Every structure is written in C-alpha cells, then in structure tokens.
Amino acid sequence: MGMASVLVVEDDGDLRAVLARALHRAGHDVTEAADGAIALARLDQGDSFDLILTDLEMPGRSGLEVIAAGKRAGRARPVIAMSGKGRPIGVGLDIARRAGADAVLAKPFRLSAMRGLAERLLAGRRPPRHSTQQTWRTLPMVMPPDLLGAKVGRAAG
C-alpha cells in the first residue's frame, strides 16, 4: 500500500503521538487532532483523509460524531474506532460499529493490530469479523454477593 493520508483523533497526547509515529513509519502522511472538535473542523474544511482512526470517549465532541462526519459528504472514508474507558468497552465498540466504524479496537491494543487493520482498510478490504472481536477484552467484575442489600441495610440502619 502506498502513502495514505490518515487522521488520528485521540485526546491522550502520548497515545496520539505513538499512533501517529507508527502510521508515519508505515509510510503514511498523518494529521493529528487532540479532540473531536478539532477533527470535525478539519473534516468540515474539506480536508481529505484516506482513513480516520478515532477514540470514542473524548471531552466535548465524541468519536461517534467523528465517525458520522467521516462517513457523510464527499466520500465515505474507512474509520477505525478505539475505546478503553467510559461505558463498558464492548458496548461502546458495538455502538461505534453500528454508527459506521469499519473496525474497532479495545485499548490497550498492539500497534501491529492497528497497523494491520489500517492497511487492510486502505487496501479496500473489510477486516474479518472475528479479528475485531478478538481485540475486545472481557473485564471481570468483582462485587460482594449482595451489594444492593448491603447498601439498603446500611441506609436503613
């Protein structure tokens, strides 16, 4: 795959820099946006990108808005959505997929997984359904057996 123009939208500056560097090393022209509002402004200005990589949970304008903007007007660009906080990760990524994301990544993820998805989408191929599912992590939740009862009992007592 030749050089492509990629928009990386991530509010965590360190992660944004790592993602941008990995894509740049893969031979792509990378534009960084520190939040959804900046990304939306770039898209509204008519900046052309071959791929958008966006976080879902950001202050202000969300990644879902970035996905929608990337899919409308002009041409639909492939979008990879990533998430690692906020609502349960699997739920957020499922919402992103339903909103139009072509692929999803649960943080933390391997840079090689992100680059692989990016290259596949830039080549015009859809990622295998199972490959994006494998990136989701099941987070065990440990709770006391009767949490609600314990809270109600304390409040009444």
CATH code of the domain in which 82 resides: 3.40.50.2300
**Hey, what are 15's tokens?**
């992660």
Residues 119-128 have pLDDT tens digits of 999 998 877 6
Residues 68-91 have pLDDT tens digits of 999 886 667 899 999 886 556 677
Residue 12's domain comprises 5-156
Number of domains into which the chain is organized: 1
Burial label, 136 (beta-carbon count in 10 A; 0-12, 13-18, 19+)? middle
Could you tell me the end-to-end alpha-carbon distance of the chain, in angstroms, rounded to an integer? 67
Residues 96-155 have pLDDT tens digits of 888 889 998 888 889 999 999 999 999 988 776 544 443 334 333 333 344 444 444 444
